[in-house]
Amino acid sequence: MPTLPRLTDLRCEHLVNPLGLDEAAPRFSWKLADPRTGAAQIAYQIEVSAANAVVWDSRRIDADTSVLIPYAGPALQPHTRYHWRARIWDHTGVVTAWSETAWFETGFLSANAPWPKATWIGLSLPSADPQSVRHLCKTFRLPSAPREVRLYITARGIFEPHLNGERIGCDVLTPGWTDYRHRIEYLTHDVTAQLHAGENTLGALLADGWYAGYLTWSKTRGHYGKETALLATLRIVDADGTVHWIGTDSSWRGASGPFLSADLYNGENFDARLDARDWCTPASSSKGWKSARVLTFPSVALTAKAFGRVRTIEELKPVALTQPAKGRHVFDLAQNMVGVIRLRIRAPRGTRITIRYAEMLQADGTPYTENLRSAKCTDTYVCRGGGLETYEPRFTFHGFRYVELSGLKTKPRLDAVTGLVWHTEMTPTGTFTTSNPQVNQLQSNIRWGQRGNFLEAPTDCPQRDERLGWTGDAQVFIPTAAFNYDVAPFFRKWTRDLVDGQYETGAYPDVAPDLLKQLYPEVQGGNAAWADAGIICPWVIYQKYGDVRILEENYPAMARYIAHQEKTAVNHIRPDTYYGDWLAPDASEGGWGATPSDLIGTAYFGRTTGIMAEIARLLGRAADAKRFDKLHTKVVAAFNRHFVTKDARLAGDTQTAYLLALGFDLLPEKLRPDAVAHLDRAFGRRRHHLSTGFVGTPLLCPVLSRFGRTDFAYKLLFHDDYPSWLFPVKNGATTMWERWNSWTPDKGFGDVGMNSFNHYAYGAIGEWLYSTVGGISELAPGFKRILLRPQPHEKLTHAAATLESPYGKISSAWKRTRSTFTWTVIVPPNTTATAVPPAASLDAVKANDKPWSAHAGIRAADAFDSRPALTLLPGRYTFIMPA
């Protein structure tokens, strides 16, 4: 029996059955499961219904679109569940069966909608530590069991919701981090099953988090406000359909509890002797509890957090336990990670256990914590006594591989500690492996760097008193990030943070959510390669996922930013801005690198005006496109006048300068070969090693490959002495390091002022690993057209990349023996691929054991980049050719 084609992986706004969406026109996507060669869609139909009545029927639409198709029915109603299904007409004209039914549910749908019966409440506890975690709750009666209940909840601070003695959901650090002065996200929970007739208690724990805790290196707390606050409301639908609401108000009561203090940077202080486990039940006496205080704030947008939330994604077991000093027990989790631990311990009542975290050990085996700067990263747990007790910090997070316990009278067991890996939930999409274990470790380090730092914002680092959404780091890493995980929802959220942080001048901030504006009024944002994230990140998300809305949403802000650059540039040369080629080892001192920063700025000005022209065209804004094209031409001309000599030498003569000029297409065609030769010489002066920082590094291998120097790109990849990607790998790294020399065998730890062992920026090589070693890249947005082009190297006997694209799984796996090169590829339904086999001619290329031309799914194609190429229809192919 042939398998019938069917629709799978139904998603709404990139998500499976999202609860609490504020999107006026949510978008639908599906994949086609169809093993036939050439499987494709020629038409589709979507049907959306609510309460068993169809509200929108798209009817048959003759289009092959299957990704992010917007709802186009009558206005959606708030607090409503909509069901949807789709069917398609395949390439033979046959209609499939309807898909399974998926759903989405709306939230308030408006950022300014009033929350019935709810006001912001807080709790003043003058006698407690200002950072103690507040417990707030209210008991209420329901005359009958409700039909349906939703909890809408958010906080200024971070909260953990509870209902009738149980925690609701498994998210942590909610509502997450936005610029609370502009926008706060709220969460929706279906709590129908947890409420019953009679008495119920709803409550929440409330901690400082980003809102009121310590943030940045300023050693101060309360950047958004010093007092935390909670806003929550239950929407209760009775059996007869009547709706009523119960929300936060002055009738709520509160107290402090076992969390004596909690702070993201500094850690948690928990006294289990004070832990009243029934605090959120009708049975709890709440005697001595105080009334909540109603708080008022300037109005702020409340938007649904249907996108990724932070939660425990994985657990890690320690592999070793040592005692480098008396009473100090050090657990090694074998992986630098981000999150918290689960402590399981038996100890007498009142035993105070100090838990410290570190990414590295000092020579004597004790934790290296100098690089944490002022962040204390220490949790304290006071035992209840009387048996096995379990503790998981909840209102802090740490970046660590090693955990030190002290304060115990006896040696703990190895299983006393479990690492709980936290990050924003993202669907894993990519895999990449080779025959070289060090390169595989590099890929693992890149991935872990992403996991550790994709927590609410793409942060620079997860451990020291920083953890900020540095724009430059995010912009260089985003193409790689999009291979490893589906990061579209994550960046949709973060680009809103970027816009929230935009200066009145139009400059994007250095970090988002922005804090530097208020800390350093003299800082004006708009820094080259950092602020440019505002244009580059939405553009990359569009390229990787075909998401046009992120461009539409960001367009006005992007245009303001271009206007800002135009205004501040002098004769189209962007003035010196702050960070240069950050941490490039080619400058004798400082972090800025040797590449002139006005060159970097102008190169990026060229790049962003070029992108803007394309975006404007795509969005049908022809006049804008023309304007941006013109501006782009002027900037490129200025770049050449100012920074390029007649013989293609660039100001600064650094690797990064050539990489920018070549990578961003700034040089006239005829100068390019000479510029490549100068780049070669720049490598020669550095023992054929890289000398690039955050700006140049992502361009290294892609530019070398583009200009026919893949051999040299591999040479850089395989170096394992300083500075190189494999130098940290050789020295035991399990994540990406901030500096090429964060630790060296002869000098030990690098500059302690800034020495993170979990900084993903140099992981930007990941995109080249997937696209050039593995062989997968996109030719049309969302991988609707795919380029399959591995460029193998003799030092590798095999490599494989896979990507779960919006259309389904793409795969490119090759292996070689002395005589034969075997290449297996998968092209998902409803796409096409251009395949460029690594062969000088196609004559000897066989597909599935026959000459390729005998295969129904393969057609001859125009040469690609002067190489013989084939067009592949969806299907699975094994190519064999002489090695």
Distance (Å, whole) CA 396 – CA 263:
6
Taking the complex as a whole, the smallest distance from the CB of residue 370 to ligand BGC amounts, in Å, to 15
Decide whether 472 or 775 has the Cβ nearer to ligand BGC: 472
Taking the complex as a whole, the smallest distance from the CB of residue 374 to ligand BGC amounts, in Å, to 14
Decide whether 171 or 497 has the Cβ nearer to ligand BGC: 497
Enclosing H/E stretch for 471? helix 471-484
Q: Which of 668, 662, 706 is nearest to 682 (CA)?
A: 662
Token pair in block for residue 391: 């503790």
Annotated catalytic residue within 105, 268, 456, 466: 466
Instruction: Please give the angle made by the CA atoms of 703, 707 and 708, to the nearest 5 degrees.
Output: 120
At 50, which amino acid appears? Answer: A
CB atoms within 10 A of CB 686: 15
Token pair 């981000």: residue:
338
Is residue 738 part of the annotated active site? The answer reads yes
CA 697 to chain CA centroid, Å, is 20
DSSP-assigned beta bridge partners for residue 858: 872
Decide whether 601 or 868 has the Cβ nearer to ligand BGC: 601
Distance (Å, whole) CA 661 – CA 669:
11
Taking the complex as a whole, the smallest distance from the CB of residue 377 to ligand BGC amounts, in Å, to 16
Is residue 804 part of the annotated active site? The answer reads no
Decide whether 99 or 735 has the Cβ nearer to ligand BGC: 735
- Could you tell me which residues come within 8 angstroms of residue 601 by beta carbon, excluding any fewer than 6 positions away? 528, 529, 573, 574, 575, 576, 577
Distance (Å, whole) CA 204 – CA 167:
9
CB atoms within 10 A of CB 145: 13
Q: How many CA atoms lie within 13 A of 153 on its CB side?
A: 29
The distance in angstroms from the start CA to the end CA of the chain is 38
Q: How many CA atoms lie within 13 A of 120 on its CB side?
A: 16
Decide whether 100 or 751 has the Cβ nearer to ligand BGC: 751
Decide whether 750 or 806 has the Cβ nearer to ligand BGC: 750
- In the three-class reduction of DSSP (H, G, I as helix; E, B as strand; rest coil), residue 13 is classed as coil
Would you tell me the crossing angle of helices 672-684 and 655-663 to the nearest 10 degrees?
Answer: 150
Distance (Å, whole) CA 734 – CA 312:
19
Distance (Å, whole) CA 215 – CA 271:
25
Distance (Å, whole) CA 457 – CA 471:
10
Q: Which residues bind ligand BGC (CB under 6 A)?
A: 460-461, 466, 470, 472-473, 579, 582, 754, 759
Distance (Å, whole) CA 539 – CA 475:
10
CB atoms within 10 A of CB 870: 24
Taking the complex as a whole, the smallest distance from the CB of residue 307 to ligand BGC amounts, in Å, to 24
CA 386 to chain CA centroid, Å, is 43
Taking the complex as a whole, the smallest distance from the CB of residue 351 to ligand BGC amounts, in Å, to 37
Residue 683 has phi, psi (to 5 degrees) of -70, -40
Token pair in block for residue 149: 């209940």
Classify the C-alpha dihedral 737-739-740-744 as positive or negative: negative
Decide whether 693 or 781 has the Cβ nearer to ligand BGC: 693
Taking the complex as a whole, the smallest distance from the CB of residue 310 to ligand BGC amounts, in Å, to 21
Q: 102 and 132 in contact (C-beta within 8 Å)?
A: no
Decide whether 82 or 470 has the Cβ nearer to ligand BGC: 470
Distance (Å, whole) CA 514 – CA 224:
11
Classify the C-alpha dihedral 624-630-633-635 as positive or negative: negative
Taking the complex as a whole, the smallest distance from the CB of residue 526 to ligand BGC amounts, in Å, to 14
Taking the complex as a whole, the smallest distance from the CB of residue 587 to ligand BGC amounts, in Å, to 14
Taking the complex as a whole, the smallest distance from the CB of residue 828 to ligand BGC amounts, in Å, to 36
Q: 480 and 764 in contact (C-beta within 8 Å)?
A: yes
Decide whether 493 or 759 has the Cβ nearer to ligand BGC: 759
Q: 371 and 438 in contact (C-beta within 8 Å)?
A: no
CB atoms within 10 A of CB 93: 8
CA distance readout (Å), 339 to 312, 315, 453? 8, 10, 10
Token pair 């009121």: residue:
212
The residue whose Cβ lies closest to ligand BGC is 460
Q: 521 and 467 in contact (C-beta within 8 Å)?
A: no
Q: Which of 714, 729, 825 is nearest to 772 (CA)?
A: 714
Annotated catalytic residue within 160, 404, 456, 738: 738
At 257, which amino acid appears? Answer: G
Taking the complex as a whole, the smallest distance from the CB of residue 466 to ligand BGC amounts, in Å, to 6
Decide whether 547 or 581 has the Cβ nearer to ligand BGC: 581
Decide: residue 549, CB within 10 A, 0-12 exposed, 13-18 middle, 19+ buried: middle
Decide whether 149 or 765 has the Cβ nearer to ligand BGC: 765
Decide whether 379 or 473 has the Cβ nearer to ligand BGC: 473
Token pair 């070398």: residue:
704
Taking the complex as a whole, the smallest distance from the CB of residue 432 to ligand BGC amounts, in Å, to 24
Decide whether 140 or 217 has the Cβ nearer to ligand BGC: 217
**Which residues form the catalytic set?**
466, 738
